[in-house]
């Protein structure tokens, strides 16, 4: 089992994508990349803690590779949007890959470079690739939010 952590805007829809992916064993939403210890959703929403909304997941590399997870990550959001996705604006909604090993860092950098060179986007990819720090689990009502609130979450 391996771990991966991605930030791609609001964590609800991103978690649902990975939660329903074969080979992903466990997901949790929370916060990473900031300065405040054990931040709350309310604190993160101010943009002052430095955290991004993330999905932290455990996966079976015999079923799905880290590269395949990255493919899903890239497809889920616009990686050329600096600090916003759709209606969500602020540094907490930035695009980021938080790597857990040197191998993940290398794969993420190669994946980003390949996508940038593909001319899929007219603007450069702004996704940060950063070493994973402490993961702070979000409040329970955020966990599996889309699954729990399907009628209200169409389109996520």
Give which of 76, 90, 82, 89 is closest to 126, Cα–Cα.
Answer: 82
Three-state secondary structure call for residue 55? strand
How many other C-beta atoms can be found within 10 angstroms of the C-beta atom of residue 86? 14
Up-side HSE of residue 9: CA atoms within 13 Å toward CB? Answer: 21
- Residues with a known catalytic role: 10
How many other C-beta atoms can be found within 10 angstroms of the C-beta atom of residue 91? 18
16 phi/psi in degrees, rounded to 5: -60, -40
Degrees to nearest 5, angle at CA 94 with 111 and 8: 60
């Amino acid at each position: 089992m391996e771990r991966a952590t991605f930030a791609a805007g609001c964590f609800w829809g991103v978690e649902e994508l990975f939660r329903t992916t074969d080979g992903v064993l466990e997901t949790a939403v929370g916060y990473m990349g900031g300065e405040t210890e054990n931040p709350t959703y309310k604190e993160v929403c101010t943009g002052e803690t430095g955290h991004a909304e993330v999905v932290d997941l455990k996966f079976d590399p015999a079923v799905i590779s880290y590269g395949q997870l990255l493919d899903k990550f890239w497809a889920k959001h616009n990686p050329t949007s600096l600090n916003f996705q759709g209606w969500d604006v602020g540094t907490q909604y930035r695009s980021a890959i938080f790597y857990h090993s040197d191998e993940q860092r290398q794969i993420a950098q190669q994946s980003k470079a390949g996508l940038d060179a593909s001319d899929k986007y007219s603007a450069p990819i702004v996704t940060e690739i950063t070493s994973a720090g402490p993961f702070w689990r979000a409040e329970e009502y955020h966990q599996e939010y889309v699954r729990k609130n399907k009628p209200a979450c169409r389109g996520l």
